[in-house]
Amino acid sequence: MDRLDLRILDQLQCDASLTNQALAERVGLSPSACLKRVRRLKQSGIIQREVAILAPETLGAGLHMVVEVTMSRDDKSLYGRFIKQMEASPEVTQCYQVTGEVDFVLIVSVPDMASYDRFCDRAFDASDDVHKFRTLISRKRTKFETRMPLGG
């Protein structure tokens, strides 16, 4: 991957809906060379997918929680079950297995507290695998970025 690839990736992270022509102009390539590079970046898995980023508050997902989860014991298969359950839970928008005092950190988006209570009942309270969890309710999101920093 060279500097041109990084410039392409940077532009696509800002706006994946750019036409190939517009992208080529922004990075200083011919459209055909640009298209070849984008295809290679997709085929190699560097570009995993293209998505639309929605405004959650306009769709009723007004509460965002950061949830720390501690499992009942250190067990790889237990972790695997929990990860599969979180992947299947639409309320969980991000799931991180972490080091330290807790085992997982989740980002959970729900429309209201009743929805969050139902999620907790299903995901945590009904499971012997979860020892405890702690919820931090976001009062205000001051930064949300999907763009990864590229290079120096």
CATH of residue 65: 3.30.70.920
| Average pLDDT rounded to a whole number, residues 29-51 | 96
Of 5-14, 48-57, 85-94, 101-110, the least confident = 48-57
Residues 33 and 60 in one domain: no
- Predicted confidence band of residue 38 (pLDDT cuts 50, 70, 90): very high
Residue 108 lies in a domain: yes
- Predicted confidence band of residue 36 (pLDDT cuts 50, 70, 90): very high
| CA 39 to mean position of chain CA atoms | 23
| Average pLDDT rounded to a whole number, residues 7-35 | 96
Residue 12 lies in a domain: yes
Task: Give the chain's length.
Answer: 152
Q: How much is the mean pLDDT over the chain?
A: 93
Measured from the Cβ of residue 86, the count of other Cβ atoms closer than 10 Å reads: 20
Residue 101 lies in a domain: yes
Structural domain of 18? 3-43
Q: Give the amino acid at 106.
A: L
Determine the Cα–Cα distance for residues 32 and 112; give it in Å rounded to an integer: 49
Residues 32 and 66 in one domain: no
Residue 150 lies in a domain: no
User: Residue 33: which CATH number?
Assistant: 1.10.10.10
Using DSSP's 3-state secondary structure scheme, residue 4 falls into helix
Asked if pLDDT for residue 152 goes beyond 70, the answer is: no
Domain count for the chain: 2
Residues 36 and 66 in one domain: no
Residues 38 and 60 in one domain: no
